[in-house]
Chain A
Amino acid sequence: MADDPMTRRLGALYAIVLRLYPPVFRERFGTSMRQTFADLCRERRAHGQGLAGLVLCSFTDTLFGILRERSRTLVPAPHELVRVALITHVLLAVPLFAMRSTDEVVWTLGDFVFAGVVIFGTGLGFEFAVARARTTTYRLATAAAS
């Protein structure tokens, strides 16, 4: 069944919006979502209805879906947070023990806070990049860069 030009144009626009989904989600559902949107357009056309309401609802719903999926991939998993926090504590223990054994290392509370924030932030960035890297080469490159 051939679609009318407006349905085709809207389908092309919808396909552009779908590019905002995370790649994994898009590969899994992108084609099906385009088909479903086209089905909805055809249904409205078959009943002699306009497409404005459908476009408004579908695009809004899809944009909220994109935000949901993007937020899912941006929030670190609990085990990632625990791992980074443990590593941060271990690294901060080094200057703490050094202060107890020698007078050459003098860190203030502010130094510890600053170092903690830097180490924790770097660790989270590393976890984020590695967890989402697809290839071993990219993972190794991320590890080498950090």
Chain B
Amino acid sequence: MSTKPPKPLTPAVLHILLALSARERHGYGIMKQVEADSNGRVNMGPGTLYGSLNRMMDAGLVRETESRVDPEMEDERRVYYEITGQGR
């Protein structure tokens, strides 16, 4: 039985996977990591980030972890995202 080849990753998806490869992060944390990884060349907006996360979660590449307060920001609880085995 032949298997369908995986779809090529979009630049946004690749950047998000790289940002989550080291540890889980919340949305703003992913944005900052993408910006740092690309030396400031990639500034992802919220629409692109969460639209990509939505498709990545549907594809099983990332998943939500528990929501908690970021110790560095100390305000609201935030949803964290982590890469799955398939995403790796």
Contact = CB atoms under 8 A, between A and B. Distances in A.
Interface of A: 1, 25, 28-29, 31-33, 35-37, 39-40, 57-58, 60-66, 68-69
Contact of A28 (B28, B54, B76): B54
A32 B27 contact: yes
A35 B27 contact: yes
Contact of B73 (A39, A58, A65, A68): A39
Interface residues of B, number: 20
Interface of B is mostly: helix
Contacts of B53: 29
12 contacts: A29-B53, A32-B50, A36-B49, A39-B73, A58-B46, A58-B47, A61-B46, A61-B47, A62-B47, A65-B46, A65-B47, A68-B51
Interface string B29-68: 0010000000000010111111101100000000000000
A36 B46 contact: yes
A63 B73 CA distance: 28
The 10 closest A-B pairs by CB, nearest first: A65-B47, A61-B45, A62-B47, A39-B28, A61-B47, A36-B27, A29-B50, A65-B51, A36-B28, A33-B46
